[in-house]
């Protein structure tokens, strides 16, 4: 079982690949739809699991509170853009423009997380203290994947 940092980084690598794949598609094609659905569902479940496992651990440390809040705020901003994209025509220039913003913002977020947050977290959270969090993250992500549609519906009602 990977540790929490490897589990999260593996997802980020997959997400970067999906973003590149989406960028290489055109119009409202089946390839774009398939890659977008996979990206959307995986990022949604990843973010929720990350917040409930990794960030909950970070927030228990004084330094981690600001970092966790910042990252959770970025998750919300990215989620808002993804929901906008879900409602737009994939063949429109507006969709592509908004997608480019999402890609830029997402890549900035994961780079910051991997470079700054992970480095600092490893300094303040002992290996023993975070043992098993990779497995917790992956299990929570699997649970969250089954909740995506219900959460989206609930969010739209608000």
pLDDT tens digits, one per residue of 112-135 = 999 999 998 888 888 888 899 999
Separation of alpha carbons 144 and 126, rounded Å? 27
Domain spans of the chain? 4-157
Q: Is 90 helix (H, G, I), strand (E, B) or coil?
A: coil
Query: What average pLDDT does range 28-51 have in this prediction?
Result: 96
Is the pLDDT confidence value at 157 over 80? no
pLDDT tens digits, one per residue of 47-69 = 999 999 999 888 887 777 888 88
Closest CA to 122 of 85, 70, 67, 46: 67
Is the pLDDT confidence value at 82 over 80? yes
Q: Considering only 64-73, 86-95, 112-121, 138-147, which range has the smallest mean pLDDT?
A: 64-73
Show the tokens assigned to 96.
């592509």
Which own/partner contact pairs does 116-121 have at CB distance under 8 Å and 24+ positions apart?
116/67, 117/58, 117/67, 117/71, 118/5, 118/8, 118/9, 120/63, 120/64, 120/67, 121/5, 121/54, 121/57, 121/58, 121/64, 121/67
Average pLDDT, the chain: 91
Are 84 and 100 spatial neighbours (Cβ–Cβ below 8 Å)? no
**The pLDDT value given to residue 44:** 96
Q: Is 88 helix (H, G, I), strand (E, B) or coil?
A: coil
**The pLDDT value given to residue 1:** 85
């Amino acid at each position: 079982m990977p540790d929490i940092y490897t589990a999260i980084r593996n997802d980020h690598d997959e997400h970067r690949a999906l973003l590149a794949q989406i960028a290489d598609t055109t119009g409202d094609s089946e390839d774009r739809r398939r890659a977008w659905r996979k990206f959307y569902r995986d990022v949604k479940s990843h973010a929720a699991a990350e917040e409930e496992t990794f960030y909950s651990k970070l927030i228990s440390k004084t330094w981690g509170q600001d970092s966790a809040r910042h990252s959770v705020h970025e998750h919300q901003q990215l989620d808002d853009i993804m929901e906008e994209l879900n409602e737009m025509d994939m063949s429109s220039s507006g969709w592509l423009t908004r997608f480019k913003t999402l890609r830029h913002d997402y890549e900035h977020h994961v780079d910051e997380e991997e470079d700054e947050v992970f480095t600092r977290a490893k300094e303040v959270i002992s290996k023993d203290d975070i043992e098993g969090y990779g497995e917790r993250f992956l299990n929570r992500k699997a649970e969250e994947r089954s909740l995506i549609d219900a959460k989206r519906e609930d969010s739209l009602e608000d």
